[in-house]
Amino acid sequence: MGDKQRVFPVGRLDYNSSGLLLLTNDGELAQRLSHPRYGVIKIYRVKLSACPTEEELARLGKGIYLDDGRAAPARARVLEKLRKNAWVEIELHEGRKREVRRMFETLGYFVEKLIRVRVGTVALGHLAPGELRPLTQVEIKSLKRAVGL
């Protein structure tokens, strides 16, 4: 019936989040890509209940305090201001549980939508929800290089 292999997710997306989720049969690669020690960049697009100020985005850039300790500095920028809310892009090097949501909640914002658009050098691109595609050899080598494998 074929070769059975274990599949490891790289990180996780909570029920109310969507976007890029990498799956691999390489457990060490999955662990390193997920672990904050390796500093793999994760980029999210976030629809907020209102538009944050430059000062609030600067607070994220210095590292904001959460209930479980200080979050590492995160780069954030407003992508689009809407009438009542805004789309923001945020770049993390960690990956703690519900970190993006908790960071914006600390600033007083409700996260209406959260989409992971990039992990390391791999981008979501135009994949529809539930759609899959294999990584290219170039993408796999790039991810391994980023975590010292």
Alpha carbon distance 7, 2 (integer Å) = 15
What are φ and ψ of residue 28, in 5° steps?
Answer: -65, -40
User: Comparing C-alpha atoms, which of 124, 127, 52, 128 is closest to residue 88?
Assistant: 52
Task: Please report the sign of the dihedral spanned by the C-alpha atoms of residue 31, residue 149, residue 45, residue 7.
Answer: negative
68: annotated active-site residue = no
Q: How many residues does the chain have?
A: 149
- Pull the structure tokens for residue 101: 């949501």
Name the active-site residue from 14, 26, 67, 68: 14
Residue with tokens 């109310």: 16
24 touches 5 (CB < 8 A): no
Just list the catalytic residues: 14
